[in-house]
């Protein structure tokens, strides 16, 4: 996320038993063995799970994700995709590169003066996937691909509508 001449350990995550990491265009995420989500980076559109006007070079626990028992996290251009142990898919930020940050009750980042970046935002559940048990996710700029428990592959575009890609071959989750 930040350019360094040499790789260095992220000491703030040492005590958290990290089981999975993902790096996006301008942010990163990590999931620990308990299923807690940590994020850091630029946070242009809320992809870190909290509203803040400033980048964060230090991983921070996303408090609003603690209740979901995370199984997988995936970063793409300006979103963090969060898969729960129950097979539900949530998103922080936006899949649309040009869309504005969804601020919920705020009209702009200027409304955050005095909050010191302490406002966590709730993830958006992709509700049109709830009839499928999702076992794996992948993401790129403007899309999410999901593998279901039955082996179907679903593609989600930036309008958050799922499209079934295939049912001809069964794909097993490993």
4: confidence class by pLDDT, cuts 50, 70, 90: low
Cα 106 to Cα 48, 76, 116, 136, distances in angstroms: 17, 24, 15, 33
Residue 28's pLDDT is 95
Banded pLDDT at 10 (limits 50, 70, 90): confident
pLDDT tops 70 at residue 115: no
Do residues 21 and 8 touch, judged by C-beta distance below 8 A?
no
Closest CA to 92 of 138, 37, 131, 17: 37
What percentage of the chain carries pLDDT values higher than 90? 43
- Over the chain, what is the mean pLDDT? 81
Say whether pTM exceeds 0.85. no
- Give the helix, strand, coil percentages of the chain, each rounded to 5: 10, 40, 50
pLDDT of 77 reads 86
């Amino acid at each position: 996320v930040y350019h360094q001449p040499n790789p260095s350990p992220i000491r703030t995550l040492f005590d958290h038993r990290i089981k999975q990491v993902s790096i996006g265009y301008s942010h990163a995420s990590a999931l620990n063995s308990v299923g807690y989500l940590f994020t850091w980076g630029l946070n242009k559109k809320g992809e870190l799970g909290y509203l803040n006007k400033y980048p964060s070079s230090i991983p921070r626990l996303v408090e609003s994700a603690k209740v979901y028992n995370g199984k997988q996290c995936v970063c793409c251009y300006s979103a963090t995709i969060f898969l729960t142990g129950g097979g539900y898919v949530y998103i922080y930020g936006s899949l649309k590169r040009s869309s504005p940050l969804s601020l919920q009750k705020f009209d702009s980042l200027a409304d955050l003066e005095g909050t010191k970046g302490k406002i966590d935002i709730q993830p958006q559940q992709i509700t049109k996937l709830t009839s499928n048990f999702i076992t794996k996710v992948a993401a790129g700029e403007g899309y999410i691909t999901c593998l279901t428990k039955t082996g179907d592959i679903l593609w989600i575009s930036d309008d958050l509508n799922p499209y079934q890609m295939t049912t001809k071959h069964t794909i097993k989750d490993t």
